[in-house]
Amino acid sequence: MALRIETFSNVTGGNSTFKALGHPLVASKAATLLDRLRKSGTVAVYDPLNLAEAFAELYPLSSLRITGLFVQDVERIGRTTLGREAEPVTALPDSDAKSLLVMGFDADKLVAQVRHLIPAGMQVVTLDGLKLPDTLLTDTRGYLTPLNWATNFAFFRDKDGLHTRVVTANYWSGYGARAPKFWLCLFDARGEVLAQWTEDLPAAGGTVVVDSAEVRRRFELGDFEGQLFIHVVGAAGHDVVKYALDTYGDDPHVLSCTHDANAWPADFYAGLPAPQDGERVILWVQNSFPTPIPAGAVSLNPMGRDGDAVALPQGVPAFGTLALDVADLLPDLKWPQQVEVRAGKHFVRPRYEIVSTAPGKPERRRIAHPNVERTDLKTNPKLAELGNLMGKGYILPAPVLPVDRFRSIALPTPMGRNQQTLPLAAILYDANGTEVARKSLGSLPRDHATALDAAELVNGHGLESGYGHMELVYDFAAGDEADGWLHALFRYEDTETGHGAETSFGAHMFNTVLTYKDEPQSYAGRAPGLTTRLFLRTGVDGADTLCHLIYPASTPWHRESDTHLILTRRDGQEIARRSVRIACNGSYHFRASLTFAEDELAAAGEHAYILIRDTTCRLFGYHGLVRDGADGAFSLDHMFGF
C-alpha cells in the first residue's frame, strides 16, 4: 500500500513534482480543479510527463468519468495507467470526452504541441491551476525548479510543559539569495491548520529560530503536537532545509535534540530501537501529504524478520500526527533488538521519542530519528578491492564521551534492504589520534542484537585525554557483503543522572584526495569534500553548549587540522574566534562556556552560534546542550554543514 510516487533518486536527486503536488496550499486548489472536471462530464487525460499516477495517489480520480488516457512516448502505448490502456495522443481526435486534463505544469507548450488534435469544444484543464502564487516562488521561469521546493517538515510540540525549537542559519544568502524568507504552516495532530505565517530571514549567516512557545503566544493557541511545514522562498545554493530541533521543557530534566527530517519520503526506515526495561519507545507517524494514510498502510517488523510485520490498525489524517507505542505492535521486542519501519513513502524521516522511568527518578525523555533504508543497493565487491587506494574507505565516526561519566554504545543497523550480513570492525582512538584498540565484530546477521559498549574497547587500555572516538569500518576478513551504506545508532548514558541521548547516521569516506563515486562528499560542488563548515547553536535558558569534533581520515591526511571556532551573533556578525589543532584520527571535546570569555558570550547574546570552519580537512561533528547539576540533562546529535 505504498504511495506510487517518485521522491528521490540517487542518480538524479530529489524529485520536485511530489513536493509541488503535496504542498499544503495545493489541496484546496486540487479539490476545485477536480470538482470542475467532475461537473463537465467525461474526461480524457493527456499524460506526456508520466505524472498521472503520482497525481492520482495524492488526489484520487475515482469521482471522474475518465474515458481515455493518452501519452506522447510511444514506449508507454499499451501500458496500463489509471486502470486504462494508454493510447497515442494522435488518437485524441477520436475522443468524445468533454474535458481534457493535461498532466503538467508550465503546460502552455504541452498544449500547443497537440492543439491541432484537440476536438472542437473540448475544455482544456492543466495542472497550472494548482500553482502557488509567484510570491512563494524562487524561480518563476520554471515551476518545478528544485529551488522552488526548498521545503521540509519538523516535529513541533507545545504541550504539557514540553516545547520544541527549530534552529538553523540563513545559509542561502551565503550562496547569493536575496531577502529569503520562511513560509510556515503549523498542523495539529488531526492535520488541521493552526497557523500560517511568513518570517523574513536575517542577513547572510544570521540565526533563524522558530520556537513553539513563542508561536503559541503569538497565535494564542492551546496545547498542540503536530508538525511544522517549512518552505524557504528565495533560496539559493541548497534546496535542502537543514536544522537542529531542540526539545525542552518547563522541567529542566527535559532536554534533547535531533536533526532535520530529510525531505524525501522513503519506503523503509531502520535504526528504530526496541525499548529496554523501564522505557517506552514512541514512533511519531506524521503524514507528509494531503491525503490520509489508510489503516494498515504502515507496519513494523523486527529487523530481519519480514514475515513478522504487524500493521498499524488505524489511519492517519492528511498532514496528521499519530504517536505509536512500538510495544503495542511488537510487545516481545527488547533492546538491543531493532525495528524496521515500512512507511510506504507516506512520511519523511520520522522522529521517535524514548520515555524512561525509574523508581525515585524523574521521567526522562530523549528524541532521535531512524534513517532511510535504501531499496536500490546491492553488495559492491569493489569496496573490498579499494583498500590499497582508499585506506579505511568508509568510516562511521562517533564520540566516546568522557569515560569517567558517560557510557558510549554503538548498535550497527542494516540500512540496505538487500543487506543480509554486516562485516564490521570497531576502532577506538584517543583524542590525540592514537589507535588504542581494534575489535572485529565479525559478520553480523541482519537480525543481530549486538550493541558494543566503548568500555569493552577501552578495557584497561586507557584514554589519556579521558575521551576519544570510535570508528566502525568494514572488516573484509569477516565477510564481503558491503554496500557503502553503513549505519549505526549511537547511545550515550550519563551514569550520574541517568539522562541519555542518541543519534544515528551513515558512513562516508573522509579526507582523501582520491574520489569514489561521490565520496568524500562536498557541501556544494563535486567531490572531494576536504573542508568544514559546521553550525553549532548556543544554549539558552541556562543551558551550555557542548561539541565533539572528530577528524577521521580514510587515508593519511594533514597531521593536524587548522580549525577555527567563530562565535557569531544572531545577525551573522563575528564576535570572537578561537583556533584549535586536532590530530588526524583524533577528536576535540569542548564547551562554549569554557572556550569563550563571559563578556564575549554576553556580547554574542541569545541565539548566537559557533561557526566551525576549516579549509584544510573535513571534520565530523556532534553538538548538544547540557545543564549542570546532579539532576542535569544533556542532548547530543550530529551536526549539519552548509
Whole-angstrom distance, CA of residue 524 vs CA of residue 172:
12
pLDDT digits (tens, 9 = 90+) for 135-153: 999 999 999 999 999 999 9
Beta bridge partners of 340: 301
pLDDT digits (tens, 9 = 90+) for 431-459: 999 999 999 999 999 999 999 999 988 87
**How confident is the model at residue 550, as a pLDDT?**
98
Amino acid at 561: S
CA angle 62, 26, 89 (to 5 degrees): 55
Residues in the chain: 642
**How confident is the model at residue 618, as a pLDDT?**
97
Whole-angstrom distance, CA of residue 91 vs CA of residue 409:
64
**How confident is the model at residue 564, as a pLDDT?**
98
Whole-angstrom distance, CA of residue 8 vs CA of residue 345:
11
Name the strand (E) or helix (H) holding 112: helix 108-114
R_g over Cα of the chain: 26
**How confident is the model at residue 8, as a pLDDT?**
66
Domain 27-130 has CATH 3.40.190.10: no
| Burial status of residue 616 (CB atoms within 10 A of its CB: 0-12, 13-18, 19 or more) | middle
**How confident is the model at residue 12, as a pLDDT?**
52
Low-confidence ranges of the chain (pLDDT < 50): none
Going from N- to C-terminal start, the domains of the chain cover 27-130, 139-369, 382-638
Task: Tell which residue, 599, 276, 591, has the closest CA to residue 451.
Answer: 276
pLDDT digits (tens, 9 = 90+) for 593-618: 999 999 999 999 999 999 999 999 99
**How confident is the model at residue 11, as a pLDDT?**
52
Amino acid at 474: Y
pTM of the model: 0.95
584, three cell numbers: 588526524
**Residues 294-324 as b or e (16 or more Cβ within 10 Å = b):** eeebbbbbbbbeeeeeeebeeebbbbbbbeb
